[in-house]
Structure 1
Amino acid sequence: MKSILAFFGMAMLCMASVWSQNRQLLYDFYEIPQSLMVNPGVKTPYKWHAGIPLLSGISSQAGTSGITVNDLFANDGIDFTTKVRDRAINGLSRRDEFGGSGQIEVFSGGFRGKNRPDDYYSFGMYGEGFISFFWPQDLAILGFEGNANNLNRRFDLGDLATQGEAVNVFHFGINRKLNDQWNVGIRGKLYSSVFDFRSIRNSGYFVTTEGQNNLLANTIVADLELKTSGIRELLDILEDDTIAQSEALPRWLLERSFFGGNLGLGADFGFTYKLNESTFITGSLLDVGFIYHSNGLENYTLDGAVTNEGIEIFLPEDLFQGNNDLWQELVDDIEELVPYDTNQDAYISLRPIKLNASIRHNFGNNKNPVRSSRGSFDHCDCTPGKSGQRNDFFDYKNAVGGHLFMMNRARGPQAALTAFYQRRFGNILALKTTYTVDKYSFANLGLGLNLQAGPVNFYMLADNLLGYRNIADSHYASFQIGFNIISWNDN
């Protein structure tokens, strides 16, 4: 138990220190090269870019959709047990989720093709992960109230749903300007899984009814499974006091990250379509892929059905037989009918597919500012030349629009809807503000800042700014920062 707690503690610490699921602030913010990661078909006004290793993209996200720390622990004069009953047990549903995610870029870069200047190639490696736990509504009620006053109520074992992973991703993408209207892109990915656990296809129930030989009869019908890869190896390292964990753990993480674990393939797709001179439609489909888990496996199952009326004692003979292990017989009977088992069967995990779509309208007097080779902007009415020789300039001073995000999860798709306003201030600063509605918050205000100092690019994006007034009472928080070196188009 100590090692399991240590594992989950370390996993949550990693998530807190390093991929926000919905990156609406970054999406279509094309001054930032990392926008290619959420839409491979975004505009690319760069000749080349290079991310500062380990600093080009650091992001994290954490959220709770139904309850906050403040809801339970605020000094409001309400008894703690009452708050647990009203706000957690009776206030949460099986769709409420607790979780966090994170991403850190190890290295990244991109360059424009010398012979094909309409093509922009990008590449890199990043590590990402997430942990998700859905509230087990029926089992929480069972644990809080017991079964004595819940006769004939079926408690759904399918409420159990949790998953998590850490994975290293190697990627290479091509962004192509087809013509004056279309930009399209595709990115191939190779996944190297560090660890994975998932228990999301559970079913069954527990019910208490009136018994025939005893007062009550308990029935359990279970089809539960927890699949893991890499977890057992990690716990063995954490449990072994004879090895130097400061050396063994980094070595194990390095091996699993660089093709020593379970491998998979995936792809991202994206486009930008120009409706007219000031209106654009974009879309992307991310992480269409899978990982095949074949080593470091440890799977757990509970499958079967049993009805038991407890221990039947025949008086007075059973009462005085000291060697009669009635409890052990009860346990053996239940285990025989509802067997708990482990196996090392290989399995495939599908990637959490994400969908983005947006519409954007640019306005304001901005005469096609073009970055020159000296790093400043010249203002001109540039006419497109032959293919590949057109300047990819920042064609807006102000922009407004909407953004839709969807992601497949264990309890079905999750969606978020965002309205945004974007503004450039001269040649150095660009800001983006967002208002997002999702399952975590109906008042999520975000702010993104992009600063360009010569070739050095710095960006910082933060969500749910109102929540920072009281973190303990916030349902959601996310941020992303990074540094890049950029050489802009100047042909």
Structure 2
Amino acid sequence: MKIGQLLLLTMLLGATSLWSQNKQLLYDFYEIPQSLSVNPGVKTLQKWHTGVPFISGLAFQAGTSGVTVNDLFADDGIDFTTKVRERLLDAMSRKDDFSTTSQIEGFNIGFRGRNRPDDYYSFGVYGETDIIVYWPKDLAILGFEGNGGDNIGRSFNLGDLSVRGEMVNVYHFGINRKMSNTLTVGARAKIYSSIFQFQSIGNSGSFRTTQGQNNIYTNSITADMELRTSGVEGIVDILEEDDGISKRDLAELFAKRVLLGGNLGLGFDAGFTYQLNPQTTITGSLLDVGFIYNSKDIKNYTLKGSASNEGLTIILPEDVNDLGNDLWQDLIDEIEESLPYEENDSGYISFRPVKAYGSIRYDFGKGESSNVDCACPINMDGGGQNSEFYRNSVGGQLFLMKRPRGIQAALTGFYQKRLGRAMSLKTTYTVDKYSFTNIGLGLNFQAGPVNFYILGDNLLGYRNIADSHYASLQFGFNIISWNDN
């Protein structure tokens, strides 16, 4: 498989698979059963729930911390080459990224223990894709400008290349336990079945062109680079067949890997909810602490070593008769010996992108007490945990995520309003590397046992999606039982 094909596959998957890793609207929105997925220790009030298969958790998102589509392709009278220069090469740094993830819930079921009513059990399956590509600033400048002119003597950092991606199916089982009237804790075990994974992180090296001694220029390169892939080779081989049965073969391959036939791994989530007083609550969770051991369908590429050359050195007239392929081949052999490019099929461990949440919430605007019998979560008898129903909540949330180049953080302020017994609205303002003006709005609607929710981020960006650094939409349907109705 050629590296170019892998990069093309990466871009295609990145363009079609979208989901926000930071689910600030969903977090602590305990009226929605899917809030268990971002905090296994969230307050749970329902007796049982079941998601409508394949439409209980759907979401779409895209994010870029640098250039937008509109920056490059808007009809503003500016030459495209000038845009690339000013808005890509000059404006973006190696810390900027293009990232995307996706999640589709296969099924999601939860129920309260008959003999242990303080325990709420949940289990299900979902598929997730996560891809991040950092902007390779020095390599982009080298490709755009070349190594001549003002770049003579400049050292280009090969470590700017950093990319990671995976598609994985997750089987999970969790327990949510009310320890007391003020404390709820939860944990979830996960089995990962990888469909594919690739990563090229931790690269180092440099490329430099200087004035030569025996020739005009000397090119020097030092590299310690690696691209690891698992599950990619088999997919590309099927796509290259380009015949009538390739689609069927690809579907069978995906089905096999989804059903625990891929590279396997283990992980866990944990979280808690603690009431400091009847109106003040703090929460926290740690998600996807886990790994996958990649041992099937492995293909790795390495480039390690150092080389320096001044091109072809020709002595006239002695070498006139030797200006053929031999001189070029000798040069190639010399470079490959000093800087070997190799392939191997060694297995490796890939770690999931660990995520952490924390929040503080203040409830106010007391409504009716919770002992009223109704088919809604906010008035169900919580045994003291939710003995009062408050119509309003305000607070703040912190999100942290481990990425190849450090911790990615986001800070969110929120306000939640409960309208009657069947509807709840949550609005958020989030600051992160993608946007300083991210205003989100979430709606949860309960009609008897039918639950519907829709959560949208960065609403101001919908005025011009092409000029937005971030866009996200989540929605789903559940069937929920709050009491014996």
Task: Give the TM bin, normalised by the shorter chain.
Answer: over 0.9
Give the C-alpha shift of residue 276 in structure 1: 0.5
How far residue 318 of structure 1 moved from its aligned partner, in angstroms, is 2.4
How far did 1:319 drift? Answer: 3.1
User: Is 1:414 matched with 2:438?
Assistant: no
1:205-216 matches, cutoff 5 A? 205-216=206-217
* Residue identity matched to 2:13: A
Query: 2:101 — aligned with what?
Result: 101
Q: Which stretch shows the higher mean deviation, 256-265 or 414-423?
A: 256-265
SS of residue paired to 1:307: strand
Are the equivalent residues in 1 in contact too, given 2:366–2:388 (CA < 8 A)?
no
Pick from 446, 457, 473: which aligns with 1:479?
473
The answer as to whether partners of 2:376 and 2:446 remain within 8 angstroms in 1 is: no
Offset at residue 239 of structure 1 (A): 0.3
* 1:203-245 CA distance string (max 9 Å, x none): 0111112211112111000000000000000000100134512
Cα deviation digits, residues 363-383 of structure 1 (max 9, x gap): 0021234563x6268979x79
Alpha-carbon displacement from aligned partner over 1:234-258 (angstroms, at most 9, x marks no partner): 0001001345122111110011111
Q: Which runs of structure 2 are paired with 1:160-175 in the superposition (5 Å)? A: 160-175=161-176
Residue pair 2:376, 2:482 contacting (<8 A) in 1 also: no
2:430 alignment partner in structure 1: 436
Amino acid at match of 1:30: Y
Deviation at 1:396, TM superposition (A): 2.3
Partner Cα separation in structure 2 for residue 92 and residue 376 of structure 1 = 49
What is the CA-CA distance between 1:313 and the residue it aligns to? Answer: 1.1
What is the match of residue 302 of structure 2? 301
Contact 2:46/2:377, CA 8 A, preserved across alignment: no
Letter in 1 for 2:256: E
Q: What is the total number of aligned residue pairs between the two structures?
A: 482
Q: For residue 450 of structure 1, what is the aligned residue in structure 2?
A: 444
Q: Could you tell me whether the CA contact under 8 Å between 1:3 and 1:238 is conserved in 2? A: no
Q: What TM-score does the superposition give when structure 1 sets the normalisation length?
A: 0.94
Distance 1:135 1:4 in 2: 17
CA contact (8 A) 1:369 1:377 kept: no
Which residue identity does 1:413 align to in structure 2? I
Q: Which moved more, 1:329-338 or 1:194-203?
A: 329-338
Q: Which moved more, 1:91-100 or 1:360-369?
A: 360-369
- 1:179 CA drift (Å): 0.4
The amino acid of 1:12's aligned partner reads G
Output aligned runs, 1:41-440, within 5 Å: 41-148=41-148, 149-242=150-243, 244-321=245-322, 323-370=324-371, 372=373, 375=375, 384=383, 395-440=389-434
Q: Counterparts of 2:180 and 2:282 in 1: how far apart (Å)? A: 15
Equivalent residue, structure 2, for 1:15:
17
Name the aligned partner's letter for residue 111 of structure 1: F
Q: Which secondary structure does the structure 2 equivalent of 1:366 belong to?
A: strand
The amino acid of 1:404's aligned partner reads L
Deviations 1:179-217 (A, max 9, x none): 011000000000000000000110011111221111211
Contact 2:185–2:272 under 8 Å retained in 1 = yes
Residues in 2 aligned to 1:13 and 1:236: alpha-carbon distance in whole angstroms? 21
The verdict on how the C-alpha distance between 1:215 and 1:119 changes in structure 2, with shifts beyond 3 A counting, is: same
Amino acid of the residue matched to residue 271 of structure 1?
F
RMSD: 2.0
Instruction: Write the distance in 2 (CA, Å) between the matches of 1:383 and 1:243.
Output: 58
CA distance in 1, matches of 2:296, 2:107: 27
CA distance in 1, matches of 2:244, 2:313: 50
How far apart, in 2, do the equivalents of 1:455 and 1:187 lie? 26
Query: Given residue 281 of structure 2, which amino acid in structure 1 is its aligned partner?
Result: F
Could you say if the C-alpha distance between residues 87 and 13 of structure 1 is closer, same or farther in structure 2, counting changes exceeding 3 Å? Answer: closer
Normalising by structure 2, we get a TM-score of: 0.95
Contact in 2 for aligned 1:318/1:324 (Cα 8 Å): no
Q: Aligned in 2, Cα 1:227/1:95: closer, same or farther, shift over 3 Å?
A: same
Fraction of identical pairs, as percent: 60
Letter in 2 for 1:443: T
Q: By how many angstroms is 1:359 displaced?
A: 0.3
* CA 1:327–1:473: 2 relative to 1, 3 Å: same
Measured in 1, the distance between the counterparts of 2:190 and 2:453 equals 25
- Paired letter, 1:450: N
Alpha-carbon deviation of 1:13? Answer: 4.9
- Equivalents in 1 of 2:129, 2:165: separation in Å? 7
SS in 2 for 1:467: helix
How far apart are the structure 1 equivalents of 2:405 and 2:376?
50
Out of 391-400 and 73-82, give the one that drifted further: 391-400
Gaps of 5+ in 2: none
> Residues of 1 paired with 2:460 and 2:59: CA distance?
19
SS across alignment from 2:411: strand
The equivalent of 1:387 in structure 2 is none
**Counterpart contact for 2:167–2:197, Cα < 8 Å:** yes
